[in-house]
Amino acid sequence: MPDTFNLKSFLSDLPHLPGVYRHLDDTGEVMYVGKARDLKKRVSSYFQKNLASPRIAQMVSRVDRVEVTVTRSEAEALLLESNLIKRLRPRYNILFRDDKSYPYLWVTGHQWPRIAYYRGGTNKRGEFFGPFPNAWAVRETIQILQKVFLLRTCEDSVFANRSRPCLLHQIGRCSAPCVGNISADDYANDVQRASRFLNGQAKEVLGEIETRMMKAAEVFEFERAAALRDQMGALSRVLHQQTMEDTAGGDTDVIAIAMAGGRVCVNLAMVRGGRHLGDKPFFPSHAEAESAEDILEAFVGQHYAGGALPAVIVSNTALPDPALIELLADEGNTKVRFLSRPQGTRRSWLEQAQRNAEMALARALTESGARAARTMTLAEALDMDTDETALDALRIECFDISHTAGEATQASCVVFEHHDMQPSLYRRYNIAGITPGDDYAAMRQVLNRRFAKVADGEAQLPGLVLIDGGKGQVEVARQVFTELGLDIHVLVGVAKGEGRKVGLETLIFADERPAVALGPGSAALMLIAQIRDEAHRFAITGMRAKRAKTRNVSRLEEIEGIGARRRQRLLTRFGGFSGVSRASIQELASVDGISQELAERIYESLRG
């Protein structure tokens, strides 16, 4: 502890109030963020002689100073702690990946509502069902609603311009409201029944359909009775497939924790409207030395703070501080029950979630071992440090250039770290000011932009920098690194082999080591090829998107009467070029500055 920070004086001045505290090291980095009901008692507890956790003891030994923020309530402290952990990612906190943007199923608020996959804020018109654990669960539910209730999924611009039923109607997935095959009242009733199904009233809806079928048969409306029979059959099959049908307690989240091999899996199972929507496993960072109770508290705090709470949370672990649920419920202005010893149906849900947690953890341990072994072979092949800690921290960056005959040039940088690709760290660079098609100049530009920060001390040099290219590209990289004063030993070029076949690549070194052909059976080369291919894929997708955007805007500009201002109004109104191209003449004409004649011209030009 430095002389400038007087710990004894600091602790004595702390108030007996709720708040958030932050432990910082001598570089100013926040190592740990915590909340406290009583700041004086909680912060002082870290500086006692005997600490229960060796990990916390190690952290305290590195503390340079402590910062605190007093809050009005413990609930406010909880939210501030959660936000700081997600923003700062402190190395000693248990960290969960932020997945707040869960998908929903959206039933829009139109006269003829459509069902759609949706991510984002739920303040739009219509009803939102979820959240769902993943996109697959949403799309599966949409398919069920199509089969049973024949609701539309088409975009409004398509719906407004149909002159005959689409393929979905022909295969029995839509009632074709776009061409008047169903009345507005009947369609609204189908939407209402679908909403009741999603809210857990499937059996009631089934009974209602059966009653309507019998009445139709009694008045000899056999065609209608047959359609209702088919609808009832489809709904019955869906109900038969469901494994969770007890909705007495409302929406439920089931949290199961499994620990093995130094890893932790927190499995979240979501039950909405009596339907098991699926499971989502989380693998927290920095949790290996923590208790199941502390891991659960971290998950609940980070996952639910500021988000939607279910009516019931079930877990195989008790919360160390039951007041946490009350704080979250107060913040969300709702009521939540937490059960750690459930009975009946909820107990079977928890047992299933526990099995899924254990299986997910077993898979992760197997995959992690295989990935670590693969990284080891790469380190051995390139004569790098093979220490386990060094391998886990090994960062590999790979650069690639992509363009179409010099148009829309982009560079990509993908990152491999902790034995796996890290998509959240990928970056794209728009390349400008070079001769179109000059890949060497493009590579020089992207490397200068990326590694100037390393030379300035604002970022660390990766353990390995892969260049997708041969001697020429590697020479450009060597020149850039030499000019920036960086170590050229980390530079390796990946030159394509004969016929561009994977396994025949040659590795070219910037430090004049002899080129190496590892051969098609090399696990190290397979890893390099995977990273190189990911860089190529990422560059290609970025280049195509940039090219399409440029070309589409140009198509609008080529239409007589469309200048920059009108083009911008069109793109803003319809959310981009694809929305403009799908818009009807009437919709185009509704845009300020677009006459009926110009709308017809735009429509014909984009549909031609």
Boundary of a domain, candidates 29, 60, 88: 88
CATH (domain of 295): 3.30.420
What are the pLDDT digits (tens) for 481-540? Answer: 999 999 999 999 998 876 556 667 889 999 988 988 888 778 888 888 889 888 888 888
**Does the residue 534 lie in any domain?**
yes
The answer, yes or no, to whether residue 21 has pLDDT greater than 70, is: yes
**Does the residue 157 lie in any domain?**
yes
Question: What pLDDT sits at residue 241?
Answer: 46
Cβ-Cβ contacts under 8 Å for 218 (sequence gap 6 or more):
none
Task: Give the C-alpha separation, 297 to 27, whole Å.
Answer: 29
**Does the residue 551 lie in any domain?**
no
Residues 323, 434, single domain; the answer is: no
What are the pLDDT digits (tens) for 235-276? Answer: 665 554 444 445 454 688 999 999 887 788 999 998 877 777
CATH (domain of 421): 3.30.420.340
Domain that holds residue 448: 390-544
The answer, yes or no, to whether residue 474 has pLDDT greater than 90, is: yes
**CA nearest 463: which of 524, 382, 369?**
382
Q: Which residues are bridge partners to 32 per DSSP? A: 23
Residues 493, 602, single domain; the answer is: no
Residues 52, 111, single domain; the answer is: no
**Does the residue 263 lie in any domain?**
yes
Question: What pLDDT sits at residue 399?
Answer: 92
Residues 530, 564, single domain; the answer is: no
**Radius of gyration of the chain from Cα atoms?**
30
**Does the residue 504 lie in any domain?**
yes
Q: Per the structure, how many domains does the chain have?
A: 5
Cβ-Cβ contacts under 8 Å for 227 (sequence gap 6 or more):
none
| Three-class secondary structure of residue 320 per DSSP | coil
Question: What pLDDT sits at residue 421?
Answer: 87
The answer, yes or no, to whether residue 296 has pLDDT greater than 70, is: yes
**Does the residue 596 lie in any domain?**
yes
What are the pLDDT digits (tens) for 539-582? Answer: 887 656 555 554 445 566 667 777 777 877 787 777 666 777 77
Contact criterion met (CB below 8 Å) for 548 and 576 = no
pTM of the predicted protein model: 0.57
Boundary of a domain, candidates 88, 114, 142: 88
Residues 317, 236, single domain; the answer is: no
Residues 182, 72, single domain; the answer is: no
Question: What pLDDT sits at residue 201?
Answer: 67
Residues 540, 399, single domain; the answer is: yes
Residues 203, 227, single domain; the answer is: yes
**Does the residue 376 lie in any domain?**
no
CATH (domain of 588): 1.10.150.20
Residues 479, 333, single domain; the answer is: no
